[in-house]
Structure 1
Amino acid sequence: MRAVLVSEPGPPSNLTIGPVPTPDPGPDEVRVRVQATALNRADTFQRKGHYPPPEGASDILGLEMAGTVDATGPGVVDWSAGDRVCALLSGGGYAEYAVVHKDLLMALPPGLSMEEAAAIPEVFLTAFQALHWLGDLGTGDHVLIHAGASGVGTAAIQLTTAAEAHPYITASAPKHDLCRSLGAEATIDYTTEDFAAQVPRLTDGQGVNLILDFIGAPYVQGNIDSLAMDGRIIQLATLGGATVEQFSLRDLMAKRARLIATTLRSRSLAYKVKLTQDFASYAMPRFVDGTLQPVIDSVMDWTDVAAAHQRMENNENAGKIVLRVAP
């Protein structure tokens, strides 16, 4: 089969398409003919040599895909050749075929295209985990979502709205309209506004109950200042830096706050299976009725993968960048 290869760690121009062995499904595994995959920040870090895959995972880029079942391994009875599926992966999505555990597959709802389906697994599972499993999202909660126009951000806005909670976002001004269209009740331009100064106005001085943060060190104090009593911060990434020069733990204690750091790629199979099943049960009917929708910035042929990575690194995208894999 063909796959996207990294000639050596470095810039997007080091991405090429070349031949690799076609994987065979083992016990309880399914091989999927990939028709679409999507970009994630982790892909750009791995391309640079900074984010190796977990032990035993494919070293090919790509954390999600959509396609049709091509072959099944021993012990698989729930899936058959031709089934339309999508899945979260630990790696291997930028290829013509991917092997995945049978319990990580999600059946595509009627009417959902492969490109739309490829834009769902990583961002929606990440947002669902952060909001519901870790963040204890409740009806009426006030939620601050940083990087609101990112893939995870656009998913989180919708999931927050579906839970009858109140989403507020930070993003650059040109991306505010998209976020509002998805349900954001307030938008903050992080380039010109101090989000911590805006939150009291939005919450009648109470602060937000839950924060999803991808930025890290520069936002730590602002996040704490923005919290309501018993508030929760879910740390999903450190795009702005990981080392905090100084902050007081007493500020966290004064608000009885919780700071929860998390990753998803390195989680156990059992954890991912349970998360996938909980999410599919909750969300797939909502994709059918339109409550939830994949948000796609652009669809590009996978031969343009270098340009797709450059677009993401330039922060030009709002929503997911999807790669259509040639038949």
Structure 2
Amino acid sequence: MLIRKPKEMAWEEAAGIPETWITATQALFLIGQLKANETVLFHAGASGVSIAGIQLAKAHGAKAIYVTASSSEKIDFCVRELGATAGFNYKTQDWSAEVLKATDGKGVNLIVDFIGASYFQGNLNAASLDGRVVCLAVMGGTTLPAGVDISAFLRKRVRFEGSTLRSRDEGYQKQLRDQLVEHACPRFSNGSFKIFVDRVLPFEQIVEAHKLMESNQTKGKIICVIP
């Protein structure tokens, strides 16, 4: 499971790699089966997994990369710093309708979701023909609201799959680790893949770190240093 730290990276940067980049690799390639020239949508665009995923998808030749986020600042970060195609503010916009507009009604091939129930209908609406939705978390709940229309599973042949990483066996995790080392580590070394660290705090301030995370104001990783 070990990965050698690229000598070009500080320890604080290297601490931002696992499990973030491994989770993004799993969602995009092992489960989502992203192909070059396909389109992808990341919810929570400024989160650690999405920041990694945007860079991985771009390097893989994705045709367009969309994000949702809670502020224009986070959307600008995803577009200008990471190279996302466009972003939508879920607080002020109907993001699924905006995705359809941006794709000329076709929808996106792959959606990486952390929200769950409250985004379930929107994900089905925004998915393309033969689209895939990979659900990694359920921050928006687990119980679907009344009136959810699941016809997209038949009409568009949408595939919905959930996954966690820690419950996977060692062989599966090794496969992900090897894929990350082969494809991402050289790009960490030459600087084409970047670890975005929002804040570095001493471990004694772990409570403050959690409060900062819960504020939903960060972009990237919060790293705690143990002396």
The TM-score with structure 1 as length reference comes to: 0.67
Percent identity between the two aligned chains: 43
Name the counterpart of 1:179: 78
CA distance, structure 2, for counterparts of residue 200 and residue 248 of structure 1: 17
Note the C-alpha offset of 1:251: 2.1
Distance, in Å, in 2 between the alignment partners of 1:250 and 1:191 is 26
Q: CA deviation at 1:245?
A: 2.5
**Cα distance in 2 between the residues matched to 1:192 and 1:248:** 23
User: How much does 1:131 deviate?
Assistant: 0.2
Return the match for 1:126 from 18, 23, 43.
23
Greater strand content: 1
Partners of 1:308 and 1:321 within 8 A in 2 = yes
Distance of 2:11 and 2:117 partners within structure 1: 37
Map 1:206-245; keep pairs closer than 5 Å: 206-245=106-145
Aligned with 2:55: secondary structure?
A: helix
- The one-letter amino acid paired with 1:290 is G
Q: Which residue of 1 aligns with 2:188?
A: 287
Output aligned runs, 1:144-223, within 5 Å: 144-165=41-62, 166-172=64-70, 173-180=72-79, 181-223=81-123
Residues 48-67 of structure 1 mapped to structure 2, 5 A cutoff? none
CA distance in 2, matches of 1:290, 1:307: 30
Native 8 Å contact 1:162 1:291 kept in 2: no
Q: Distance in 1 between matches of 2:191 and 2:129?
A: 34
Of residues 144, 152, 171, the one that matches 1:251 is: 152
Find the partner of 1:261 among 156, 162, 170.
162
**Counterpart position of 2:6:** 109
SS of aligned partner of 1:106: coil
SS at match of 2:142: coil
Deviation (angstroms), 1:248: 3.2
Distance 1:254 1:123 in 2: 34
Q: Which moved more, 1:150-159 or 1:170-179?
A: 170-179
> What are the Cα deviations for residues 34-93 of structure 1, in whole angstroms up to 9, with x where unaligned?
xxxxxxxxxxxxxxxxxxxxxxxxxxxxxxxxxxxxxxxxxxxxxxxxxxxxxxxxxxxx
Distance 2:38 2:49 in 1: 19
Deviations 1:80-127 (A, max 9, x none): xxxxxxxxxxxxxxxxxxxxxxxx000111211100000011111001
Secondary structure at 1:234's aligned position in 2? strand
Deviation at 1:318, TM superposition (A): 0.9
Give 1:268 deviation, angstroms: 0.9
Inter-partner Cα distance in structure 2 for 1:186 and 1:126: 23
Q: Pairwise mapping of residues 14-53 of structure 1 onto structure 2 (< 5 A)?
A: none
Question: Radius of gyration: which is bigger?
Answer: 1
**Please, which runs of 5 or more residues in structure 1 have no aligned partner?**
1-103
Q: Per-residue deviation at 1:274? A: 1.4
Between the aligned partners of 1:213 and 1:238, the Cα distance in structure 2 is 8
User: How far did residue 291 of structure 1 move?
Assistant: 2.0
Aligned-pair CA distance for 1:279: 1.3
Q: Which amino acid aligns with 1:211?
A: I
Alpha-carbon contact 2:124-2:150 (below 8 Å) kept: no
2:218 is paired with a residue of what secondary structure? coil
Q: Distance in 2 between matches of 1:114 and 1:232?
A: 35
Corresponding residue SS for 1:187: strand
Which residue identity lines up with residue 171 of structure 1 in the other structure? A
Which amino acid is 1:305 matched to?
Answer: I
Structure 1: distance between partners of 2:102 and 2:197: 29
Q: Which has the higher contact order (CA 8 A, sep 6+)?
A: 2
Q: Is the 8 A contact 2:118 2:145 kept in 1?
A: no
Aligned residues: CA RMSD:
1.0
Give the secondary structure class of the aligned counterpart of 1:107: coil
TM-score when normalising by structure 2: 0.95
